[in-house]
Amino acid sequence: MERTNKFVVVPQSDEDEELLRRLLDASAALWNEINYEHRQNYADPDGDIWDISEYRGRYGGVLGASTVQQIERKNRKAWKSFFAKQQKGEPTGKPGYWGNEDDGREFRTYIRNTSYTVEWGKYSRLEILVGQDLKDEYGLGHRERIRLEVRGEPNWKECEKQGRLELFYDEQAQTFRAFQPVTIDDSRLAHPLASEEAALDIGANNLVACTTTTGQQYLYEGRDLFRRFCKTTREIARLQSLLRDGRYSSHRIRRLYDRRTKRRDHAQDALARDLIERLYDEGVSTVYVGDLTDVLETHWSVETNAKTHNFWAFRAFVTRLACTAEEYGISVEVRSEAWTSQTCPNCGSTTDTVRHQDSLACSCGFEGHADLVASESLLRRQTTVTRSMARPVCLKWDDHNWSESPRSPRPNEEHTNPQVASVGR
C-alpha cells in the first residue's frame, strides 16, 4: 500500500537555511530551463519533444547528479501527462514554470530515495545529498550531507520502502515542508468489524450526506466553507483586474490561490478521515459513492456544477476517501446516483416530488432532507435496508475539525399536512 508522510523541515542555522534555499532555487531554475526546451520543441513542427540538453554538468555541482535526474524525470512525466490528456480530449495546459527571478521562483526540489534519510525519534532529522560545489562552499565533507531538523508526527514511520522526497517552501506559512511517499506492509491495515454498508450523496451545499445499514445518518455542511472560497475567489479576480497589460498573476495572487486550495484540501482530508472512522466503528465494510457523471448535465445547475468541481473537487475527494478507507479495510465503490435526489422513498415517485433547497416534498405526503433522502435511496439500490433511521448527526467545519452541531435535521418521516400533500400536483 502506498502512503505519504508529511512533515515540516527546519534548518538548524542561518547558514543551513541559505544552503537549502540555494538548493531549491537551483532546482527551480533547472526545471524552467528543461521546460523551456520542451516547449520550444513542441512548437517546432520538426522538433523532437524529448530531445533536450545535458544538464548534469551545469547543475550537478549544486544539486548533485541524482537530483538533476529526478527533476528531469519529473518534468518528463508532466509532459507525458499533458499528451495523455490531449489524446482523451480533456482540457489541459502545457506544464508551467516554477516562477521566475523577477517575480520570485517557486522553491521546490525532488530527492531520489537513495539520496536522503529520515530518522524518527525525540530529535527527528532529515539528511539530504547536495552537490560537491555546495559542500566545498559550506564546509561539508566529501561524504557529508546537509542535516535538517524534522517536526511532525508522520503516520508511517516504519515502511518497507521510501520513495522520492518532495521538498518545498510554503510561502503562506513561511515554512519548509516535505512529502515522503512510502510503501506500507498490508498486514498493518485494519479489518472491518462487520459487513454493514453505507452510501454517500456528494453535494454542493451539504458536502456529504451518508446513510448506513445500521440506521445511522451523517450530514457534513459546506455552506460556510463555500462562502470563504467565494470570498477568496472574488479577491483574486479584483487583484487580477489591477494587473498591468501582459501580466496574468502576481506573488499575492499566487498566495491567495495557494491559501484557497489548502483550506479546501485540509477540510477534505479531515472529512474523509472523520467519516471513515465513524463508519469503521459502525462496522461498515463497503461504501457506495454516487457518481455525478449521470446527473450533472441533466439535473444540476451551472452554479452547482461549479461548486462540485471547482470548490469541492468531486474526483479528488473520492480519491482521498478511497485512500483513507483502504487503511481500515473498507472498499469504496462508485455507483450511478441518477434520480436519487428526486425519488420519494415513500412511494417511489420521481415526477410528483419537488425539491426546495434542502427539502424534498412529495404529493403522497412525504417530506424530508433531500440529500439524506438521496443517500438513503442510493443505499436501497445496493442492499436491503430494514432498520429505521436514527436522528441524523450534523457536522460543521471549524477550520480544524468536523464537530457535531446540536441543530441536526430530523429523520425523514411522513407528514399529513394537507398543504404538504398537495406539493407537486
Q: What is the DSSP string of 238-253?
A: HHHHTSPTT----HHH
172 and 212 in a single domain? The answer is no
241 in a structural domain: no
C-alpha cell at 200: 454517500
Judged against a pLDDT cut of 70, whether residue 231 lies above it is answered with yes
Q: CA distances (Å), 88 to each of 92, 357, 379, in order? A: 10, 36, 32
If you ran DSSP here, which 8-state letter would residue 307 be given? I
pLDDT of residue 420: 32
pLDDT of residue 283: 96
Rounded-to-integer distance, Cα 280 and Cα 8, Å: 30
177 and 205 in a single domain? The answer is no
Any idea what the CATH number is for the domain that residue 292 is in?
A: 3.30.420.140
175 and 267 in a single domain? The answer is no
Last residue of a domain, one of 181, 210, 242: 181
Pairing of strands 353-356, 196-202: unpaired
276 and 173 in a single domain? The answer is no
pLDDT of residue 419: 34
205 and 154 in a single domain? The answer is no
Provide the CB-side half-sphere exposure for 162 (13 A, CA): 20
Alpha helices in 242-385 (DSSP H): 251-281, 296-299, 302-306, 314-327, 370-382
Structural domain boundaries, residue 15: 2-181
Alpha-carbon Rg for the chain, nearest whole angstrom, is 26
For residue range 149-203, what is the model confidence (pLDDT) as tens digits? Answer: 999 888 888 888 999 999 999 887 789 999 999 998 877 778 999 999 999 998 8
pLDDT of residue 306: 61
Higher-confidence residue: 27 or 346? 27
102 and 209 in a single domain? The answer is no
Longest dimension (CA), the chain: 86
Question: What is the average per-residue pLDDT within 231-242?
Answer: 93
User: What are the φ and ψ backbone dihedral angles of 45, each rounded to 5 degrees?
Assistant: -55, -30
Provide the CB-side half-sphere exposure for 58 (13 A, CA): 10
165 and 200 in a single domain? The answer is no
User: What are the φ and ψ backbone dihedral angles of 98, each rounded to 5 degrees?
Assistant: -95, 60
55 in a structural domain: yes
C-alpha cell at 65: 547528479
Last residue of a domain, one of 113, 147, 181: 181
240 in a structural domain: no
pLDDT of residue 422: 31
pLDDT of residue 425: 25
Q: Could you give the number of structural domains in the chain?
A: 2
206 and 159 in a single domain? The answer is no
pLDDT of residue 365: 86
58 and 108 in a single domain? The answer is yes
Is 31:97 a contact under the CB 8 Å cutoff?
yes
245 in a structural domain: no
pLDDT of residue 320: 92
Three-state DSSP state, 408:
coil
Non-local CB neighbours of 249 within 8 Å, separated by 6+ positions: 103, 240, 243
If you ran DSSP here, which 8-state letter would residue 392 be given? P
pLDDT of residue 201: 92
247 in a structural domain: no
CB atoms within 10 A of CB 90: 8
For residue range 325-379, what is the model confidence (pLDDT) as tens digits? Answer: 999 999 999 998 877 878 888 888 888 888 888 888 898 888 889 999 999 999 9
For residue range 400-424, what is the model confidence (pLDDT) as tens digits? Answer: 899 998 765 655 544 333 333 333 3
For residue range 257-311, what is the model confidence (pLDDT) as tens digits? Answer: 888 988 889 999 999 999 999 999 999 999 999 887 655 554 455 566 666 667 7
For residue range 89-128, what is the model confidence (pLDDT) as tens digits? Answer: 888 889 999 987 666 788 999 999 999 999 998 889 999 9
8 by Cβ neighbours in 10 Å (0-12 / 13-18 / 19+) ranks as middle
The model's confidence at residue 8, banded by pLDDT at 50, 70 and 90, is very high
Question: What is the average per-residue pLDDT within 44-58?
Answer: 92
27 and 159 in a single domain? The answer is yes
The model's confidence at residue 32, banded by pLDDT at 50, 70 and 90, is very high
Is 129:67 a contact under the CB 8 Å cutoff?
yes
14 and 136 in a single domain? The answer is yes
273 and 376 in a single domain? The answer is yes
pLDDT of residue 414: 41
The helix (H) or strand (E) run that includes residue 105 is: strand 104-105
pLDDT of residue 417: 36
If you ran DSSP here, which 8-state letter would residue 194 be given? S
pLDDT of residue 94: 92
Residue whose grid cell is 498566495? 255
228 in a structural domain: no
Three-state DSSP state, 272:
helix
pLDDT of residue 304: 63
362 in a structural domain: yes
Provide the CB-side half-sphere exposure for 248 (13 A, CA): 1
237 in a structural domain: no
pLDDT of residue 271: 96
Last residue of a domain, one of 151, 181, 211: 181
